[in-house]
Amino acid sequence: MTSELQIGKRATAPELTSPLRLSSGITLPNRLAKAAMEEQLAGRRSHPDSRLVTLYRTWDAGGVGMMLTGHVMVDRSAVAQPADIVLDATSDLAPFREWAAAARTSSLWMQINHPGRVVRRDTGSRALAPSAVPVDVGPLSKFFPPPTPMTASDIRDTVERFAVTAELADRAGFAGVEIHAAHGYLLAQFLSPLVNKRTDQWGGSLHNRARLLLDVVAAVRARVSPNFGVAVKLNSADFQRGGFDLQDARHVIEWLSDSVDFVELSGGSIESLATAGHPADERTLEREAYFLKLAGELVTDASVPLMLTGGIRRARVAEAVLARGFSLVGVATALAQQPDAPLGWLAGEDGEVPAPRSSLRSKSLRAAAIQASITSQLHDLGRGRSRPTLAPVAALIVDQYRRSRATRRYRQEHSTGQQ
As a whole number, mean pLDDT of residues 233-241 equals 82
Identity at 37, one-letter amino acid code: M
Strand partners, 34: 67, 331
At residue 357, the pLDDT reads 79
pLDDT, tens digit, for every residue of 329-348? 999 999 999 999 999 999 99
pLDDT of residue 289: 61
**What does the pLDDT read at residue 277?**
38
- Half-sphere exposure (Cβ direction) of 244: Cα atoms closer than 13 Å: 34
User: Terminus-to-terminus CA distance in the chain, angstroms?
Assistant: 53
| Non-local CB neighbours of 368 within 8 Å, separated by 6+ positions | 396
Between residues 137 and 80, the one the model is more confident about: 80
Q: What is the pLDDT of residues 2-25, one digit of tens each?
A: 333 344 334 443 389 999 999 999
Work out the pLDDT band at 396, boundaries 50, 70, 90.
confident
Q: Mean pLDDT throughout 391-410?
A: 89
Query: What's the confidence (pLDDT) of residue 81?
Result: 95
CATH superfamily of 3-354: Aldolase class I (3.20.20.70)
- pLDDT, greater one: 379 or 138: 379
- β partners of residue 263: 232, 306
Confidence band for 366, pLDDT divided at 50, 70 and 90: confident
Give the number of other Cβ atoms within 10 Å of residue 142's Cβ: 10
Give the mean model confidence (pLDDT) for residues 351-355.
90
The residue extents of the domains of the chain are: 3-354
pLDDT at 297 over 70: yes
Query: Backbone dihedral region of 357: left (phi > 0), alpha (psi from -120 to 50 degrees) or beta?
Result: beta
Least confident of 155-169, 232-246, 278-292: 278-292
Q: Radius of gyration of the chain from Cα atoms?
A: 20
Residues 257, 261: Cα–Cα separation, whole Å: 8
- In this model, does residue 123 exceed pLDDT 90? yes
Range from 117-126, 240-249, 374-383, 386-395 carrying the lowest mean pLDDT: 386-395
- Compute the average pLDDT of residues 104-124: 97
Does position 416 have pLDDT exceeding 70, yes or no? no
Amino acid at 96: F
pLDDT for position 311: 86
From the number of C-beta atoms within 10 Å of its C-beta (0-12, 13-18, 19+), residue 282 rates as: exposed
Question: What are the distances in angstroms from CA 218 to CA 163, 221, 295, 326?
Answer: 9, 5, 25, 25
Could you tell me the CA-to-CA distances from 100 to 97, 103, 192 in Å, in that order? Answer: 5, 6, 33
- Band (241; pLDDT cuts 50, 70, 90): confident
Please give the model's pTM, rounded to 2 decimal places. 0.92
CA distance linking residue 345 with residue 329, whole number of Å: 12
User: How large a percentage of the chain has pLDDT more than 90?
Assistant: 73
Handedness of CA 121, 125, 126, 127 (dihedral sign): negative
Distance CA 184, CA 268 (A): 7
What is the band of 392 on the pLDDT scale with cuts at 50, 70, 90? confident
